[in-house]
Amino acid sequence: MELNRKLFILADAAKYDASCASSGSTPRNSLDGQGMGSVTGMGICHSYAPDGRCISLLKILLTNFCLFDCLYCINRKSSNVQRARFTVDEVVRLTLDFYRRNCIEGLFLSSGIIRSSDYTMEQLIEVARRLREEHDFRGYIHLKTIPDAAPELLAMAGRYADRLSINVELPTEQGLSRLAPEKNGQRIRLAMHRVDEHVQAWRAAVRGQRQAQSLPGAHARRAQVPRFAPGGQSTQMIVGADAATDADILASSHTLYAGYGLRRVYYSAFSPIPDASRDLPAQAPPLMREHRLYQADWLMRFYGYEAREIAAAGRHGMLDLEIDPKLAWALAHRAQFPVDLNRAPRSLLLRVPGLGTQTVDRLLAARRVRRLRLDDLLGLRAPVHKALPFVQVDGYRHAQGELDSAALRARLIAQSQRSQAQVRHSGLQVRSATQASLF
């Protein structure tokens, strides 16, 4: 099979994997004339940086042949998709060629299971090893690791990759055993635990090296600590393939963050596949559900929310699709509002709808020198229409019964829709991340 045809098949087959951001890696570049590539610390995989730059990587499978028959997977053993397989040399050559053309800034490499888990993992590692050792490639490398591979192979993968990821696939053991009986949730988590141990050991060694003191007057000579996946590890869960509720998903994410030091949990809405099993839903879940889960995940990671309190604000364990989880929580706990912007602690300010972490920090810095007024809030360009019903600030007086009004929810939804319509009619191009196309 021609290389271009392989690339078409295996790049398309990789698009279902969302866990491929490059943030958190250690800075490297080739500005000194040595090596090739760089790590900029920004998200890649055809995503958009805050300044609008499109950052891409070569995102492919080594092969879409697979010994497993996971019902939700387009590349399952019983699927009739066209199959292809790269050699190690072909992946290395493609990565370097696309980098030289300035098409990519790194590589995301995954694979179906061929021969055995150990053999597949060896092939993935060999690609990364050749790029690093034989071509001095300094760009970003993300390896999708095989949970059942030998521990020493996982340890070797971290030497060459910026980030490792092991997909938990589904949020509950029941869903995994029903839709992917060849996979084992305990073995997946054991592999994640081993990766986390290596990452923590590397970070501890780096901290110890920085704190080491040399003899007075002696030239400090410190052996470089062997790196291990400086970007940590991530995982992905499929949303809507089984009966798991949003509460189940968030509870699983909380456990993963707390127990395995994950940098990110990615959520991927289930996409119906050809010749699907009757055990799978006939329709994809609303994409808004995936979006709300990401918002809830952000609240857990940066705003101090617990998984159970986010889910409790919805109905039957599902997040509200009409409003974001933060607003849903505030409407369900109106007795805790309004919050005095001049006196409330940071933890309470973070619960105010419309106020992000940067906005809260700016408000805290400003109120150290003077009392805050409505004009200060307006000047921060925060979504004031969403925040005002829940705050108390000089220069603004609540309408009688505003916070307790049954119509508050409907009014906030209408105002949000008007704001979105104004953006659409303003001519601004709002881009959404899509799968990178190499053709």
Contact 392, 340 (CB under 8 A): yes
The CATH code of the domain that includes 269 is 3.20.20.70
Question: What separation in angstroms does the CA of 306 have from each of 165, 238, 254, 324, 439?
Answer: 24, 21, 8, 16, 44
263 and 161 in a single domain? The answer is yes
Rounded CA-CA distance 312/149 in Å is 39
User: What is the span of the domain harbouring residue 179?
Assistant: 3-24+40-209+225-304
Q: Mean of the pLDDT values across residues 163-175?
A: 94
Q: What is the pLDDT of residue 32?
A: 52
- The confidence band for 319, taking pLDDT boundaries of 50, 70 and 90, is very high
Evaluated on CA atoms 248, 18, 416, 361, the torsion sign reads positive
300 and 337 in a single domain? The answer is no
Pair of tokens at residue 48: 């958009």
Q: Mean of the pLDDT values across residues 426-438?
A: 43
- The confidence band for 23, taking pLDDT boundaries of 50, 70 and 90, is very low
Instruction: Say if 129 falls within a structural domain.
Output: yes
Evaluate if residue 246 carries a pLDDT over 50: yes
Pair of tokens at residue 99: 């980098």
292 and 356 in a single domain? The answer is no
DSSP type of residue 263: S
97 and 157 in a single domain? The answer is yes
| Residue 24 CB burial class (10 angstroms; 0-12, 13-18, ≥19) | middle
Rounded CA-CA distance 153/119 in Å is 10
Instruction: Say if 243 falls within a structural domain.
Output: yes
297 and 365 in a single domain? The answer is no
Contact 349, 341 (CB under 8 A): yes
Structural domain count of the chain: 2
Question: What separation in angstroms does the CA of 172 have from each of 137, 233, 250, 277, 434?
Answer: 39, 20, 11, 19, 28
Find where tokens 């694979």 sit.
111
Q: What percent of the chain has pLDDT over 90?
A: 64
135 and 284 in a single domain? The answer is yes
The answer to which of 144-158, 179-193, 240-254, 382-396 has the lowest mean pLDDT is 382-396
Average pLDDT, the chain: 85
Q: What percent of the chain has pLDDT over 70?
A: 84
Tell me the per-residue pLDDT of 384-402, one tens digit each, with 9 for 90 and over.
889 999 999 999 888 878 8
- Supply the pTM of this predicted model: 0.85
